[in-house]
Structure 1
Amino acid sequence: MVRGVTFLGILALLLLSCNSKKNDTQRELGLVYNVLRDFDIENYEIFSMNLDGSNKKNITDLYPVDWTYYSYGDTLYFISDRGACKRCYFLYKSNFKGENVQKVNNLELADSWMSSRKDGTELIVKPKLITESTFYVLNQEGEIIDRLDTKLPFAADPLFVNDGKQVVFRGGKTVRKEINGFDEELYIIDADGKNRKQLTHYPEKDTTAGKYEYRAGAPKLHPTENFVSYQSKQNGKYSLYAVSLDGSKTWKLTENEQNEGWHDWSPDGKWLTVELFDDEQSQFHIGLMNWETKEMEILTDTTFQYQQAPHFIYKN
């Protein structure tokens, strides 16, 4: 009898293991991105689509600003001024279809990218503060569990790296871009606020990045090759660049004819999605690149002028 129970137990475990592996392989990626639907009232919406560009849907469909900066697994995080004053942003979450929308907390946020650690259970965000140098770490309930002061006049777009032990972020030496001497670069700092180090160094002789243009845009971590990618306007064109986590190596990452901007890596590192646009910024598209072959496919059409900031999300 004991032997029979043991056998059945083992069999059940094997079946569960097989089902788990099957479910993992069946998880399908999609893309979410931001669209300016109505220019006159600055109405931004979040759209979803399949990786082949099919089945595009407006998944927010409200008239306030809805803008997504991050997804983890099948959870979509976005900032919105719905039910608040104009450009007063709060954090919400939903799924790929825009279902089960929940407000995460009552913390007003800055307009910034975010990331997570510990299997998505802790989220690092930039709050709307008088002091522009601090990040907050939130738990799954939206409670503030830690604060990170970068001790720079400006800090935004925090990215956990090295298993959440460090944070890469976009920093400035003045509180706003319009103030001379902003000198935007990427920095890395320990999660406890120690050992801040400048990672990127914009070419001294390059003057093509104007006062309001990115010298070093929001960082994204390649999940397997362990470098950080970012957009930068150099030699008169926005392109993607990369920097190693110790800052010892910086290189131009891609060679696309169009300008390249906000972007994201698939969880396995095999795909890169990026916004592409012309010099006049008259049309923005979402592209998908096979990282091995470097083949790029444009997934959007000209129905909307501004289609930006794509990132990956599991559909199920």
Structure 2
Amino acid sequence: MKSALYLALLGLILFSCKNSPESSSPEPGYLIAFNTYEPDSIVEDNWEIRIMDPEDSTHHSTNIINHPDVAWTYFANGPTIYFISDRDTAYRHFFLYQMDSEGKNIQKLSNLRLEDSWMDLDPATQTMVVSGRTESRYQLYLIDLKTGNYTPFMHDTTFKFQDPVFSPDGKQVAYVKSPKVQEKGIFPEVFLINRDGSGEKQLTKFPANDPAAEKYGYKAGALKWHPTENFISYASSRGNTTSIFGVRPEGGESWKLFPSENREVYHSWSPDGKLLTFEQSEPDSASKGYKLILMNWETKKFQDISDPAFKTQLAPVFVQKN
């Protein structure tokens, strides 16, 4: 009897040790980089990149760019932040740079002039897909980050191509496509194509009878591909606001990701797909600013992580902690 009791207690101890927090693998921690407008005495159109730890209860952020350029980050991979900047060139002539989460080790990656557009990386091949320009604007290019060399990916001068994003396996690219000459009833839409350039298809169809159809605003934009679930998220204006929608790569009806009457546009998924961060503006807010929201994708719980020192905080992206 004592032997049996001893074995039972031993098994309980081993089970507890196996499932204790100390012995389990910790989930990865993330910082959040975002963009702020901070005019100063050197230049009025001064955009900075800030970073914060969402677990910091003070929500204090740190300026990691500190430069009188127009700098904007749309993407990060691991601890590396990729951003566009017009430093060392003409005003709003953007090129691609990278830096670490402390704003150090800044490096220019290519001589391709970029559009002010979202971008994405295929980490398996170290290839970035971007919207850029050579002889024509808003065309898609692939940049080899190891060499800085770039090659055309989508090139049709009758259309604009923006906000490209790779599928998680790198075999497809989704993007926003619209005619360069605006036509009534023809809107920017989400398209998908295979990496080899075959099989282009349209995924979204903006409702022409929506009140937002006649207004300025997003019809489709700011694309992100969910890391673990099979859908592409994007921003689209409907009625009097803009929301984040989802669409499957095989097509079908788009859907609103979560109920909200606020304005939400730029957003980013954590690499494990468990968190969503986005900017949010309340429609009746007197400040007309944007705050930062962190959302648990499973529970749909929201958390305001805004730095109270800033009225407008835009386009948050996840950055892995070192």
Task: Pick the TM interval, shorter chain.
Answer: 0.7 to 0.9
TM-score by length of structure 1 reads 0.86
Equivalent residue for 1:47?
50
On the 8 A contact 1:72/1:313 being kept in 2, the answer is yes
Equivalent residue for 2:281?
277
In 2, Cα distance between equivalents of 1:181 and 1:133: 21
The alignment partner of 2:113 has SS state of strand
More displaced, 297-306 or 251-260?
297-306
**1:290-309 CA deviation, whole Å, 9 max, x = no partner?**
11111111111442222100
**Percentage identity across paired residues of the two chains:** 36
Amino acid at match of 1:174: K
Deviation at 1:271, TM superposition (A): 0.4
Equivalent residue for 1:8?
none
Equivalent residue for 1:128?
133
In 1, Cα distance between equivalents of 2:66 and 2:214: 34
The alignment partner of 1:219 has SS state of strand
**1:151-196 CA deviation, whole Å, 9 max, x = no partner?**
3511011101151111100110225x6x756511110012222221
In 1, Cα distance between equivalents of 2:263 and 2:251: 24
Deviation at 1:121, TM superposition (A): 1.2
Deviation at 1:278, TM superposition (A): 2.7
State whether structure 2 residue 203 is matched by structure 1 residue 202.
no
Partner of residue 63 from structure 1, selected from 57, 62, 68: 68
Structure 2 stretches lacking a partner, 5+ long: 1-22
In 2, Cα distance between equivalents of 1:145 and 1:153: 20
The alignment partner of 1:203 has SS state of coil
RMSD: 2.3
On the 8 A contact 2:168/2:225 being kept in 1, the answer is no
In 1, Cα distance between equivalents of 2:72 and 2:110: 17
On the 8 A contact 1:262/1:310 being kept in 2, the answer is yes
CA 45–162 in structure 1, closer or farther in 2 if over 3 Å, else same: closer
In 1, Cα distance between equivalents of 2:203 and 2:222: 13
State whether structure 2 residue 237 is matched by structure 1 residue 216.
no
CA 265–120 in structure 1, closer or farther in 2 if over 3 Å, else same: farther
**1:20-52 CA deviation, whole Å, 9 max, x = no partner?**
xx9x84742110000011288121000000123
In 1, Cα distance between equivalents of 2:48 and 2:214: 28
More displaced, 69-78 or 281-290?
281-290
Deviation at 1:118, TM superposition (A): 3.7
CA 26–84 in structure 1, closer or farther in 2 if over 3 Å, else same: same
CA 284–312 in structure 1, closer or farther in 2 if over 3 Å, else same: same
Equivalent residue for 2:166?
160
Equivalent residue for 1:28?
29
CA 41–181 in structure 1, closer or farther in 2 if over 3 Å, else same: farther
CA 209–313 in structure 1, closer or farther in 2 if over 3 Å, else same: farther
More displaced, 24-33 or 193-202?
24-33
Deviation at 1:266, TM superposition (A): 0.5
**1:81-118 CA deviation, whole Å, 9 max, x = no partner?**
11111101111100111111111122211111110114
Equivalent residue for 1:89?
94
Amino acid at match of 1:47: R
Amino acid at match of 1:230: Y
Deviation at 1:211, TM superposition (A): 4.9
More displaced, 143-152 or 250-259?
143-152
**1:57-98 CA deviation, whole Å, 9 max, x = no partner?**
000011110100111111100000111111011111001111
